[in-house]
Amino acid sequence: MPCEKWAQMHNPGRIKSTFTDGFLQQLVFLRSPPEIFDVPHRQQRSEISRPDKLTQRIEFLLEKVPQNAKVLDLGAGYGEIAFSLEAYRNAQVLCVEREPEFLSSLRQKGLWVLDADLNYISSPALRWVFSQPWDIVIAVDTISYWMYPALILSALSDRVGKIILTVSNSAHFNRRIKGLLGKMQDWPNCRPSKDNYLQFDLSWRTNNWTLKGFRQWTAALGYDCQLIARRAKKARWLSPTFSPSLLTRSFVFELTPIT
């Protein structure tokens, strides 16, 4: 897709945005399939033993994923989410991970695994991932480690059904204290301009959000953003409270591309 057409499609109107030429050129490159790449082997299993016990968080996710969905798990960790989705939803899950300990666990579980670093955006592996369509993308407790989250979400914006991700809350009272000490909030790959545009450039790499700020940021990237849960103690995902911003440790969002 030409850069100009992409930029026009992904300005949802209520949030004005601009993208530097460097951002758009890297976006086109990331979304184009590599000429040579060995697609990782996906093990075919006739039967999957279901986990003995599910955490509340995984039960929550299972309700969001339909049967037989094609799922991309960005930062899959030890693979509990991916394994449960395959066992209970017959999902086809690709796990993207970079840490050797996690990769070993994923392979031991017989999962479909891609060894890739989401910060190495010129990787042929990532170019293959972002050239594919996905029903669901999951990014739990991982986006804060990405150097280019705006680029990754932009690359997925017309080839994903929805994205479920978690984001640390910059308005949490512990972070507010840090703010009073002079540490200011910034958005990743983006900064507001004087004329109320959000300007996107890969050279800006900070990644702190408030609830309102994340909604604005994702709208500028072409998504409808819904807060679907908040993280409480012991990593439980609960319904949002009337005023979740100050006490919630992290938010759970569902992003749907604006068409």
pLDDT confidence of residue 97: 96
pLDDT confidence of residue 66: 95
- pLDDT, averaged in runs of 10, over the chain (259 residues): 43 68 94 89 70 85 95 95 93 95 92 94 94 96 91 94 87 52 59 72 77 84 90 77 65 91
Give the contacts of 26 (CB within 8 A, at least 6 positions apart): 121, 151, 202
Q: In what order do the strands lie in the sheet with 190-192?
A: 17-19, 198-200, 190-192
> Residue ranges per domain, the chain?
3-33+54-257
pLDDT confidence of residue 144: 85
Residue pair 81/73 in contact by the 8 Å Cβ criterion? yes
> What's the topology of domain 3-33+54-257?
Rossmann fold (3.40.50)
Residue pair 206/217 in contact by the 8 Å Cβ criterion? no
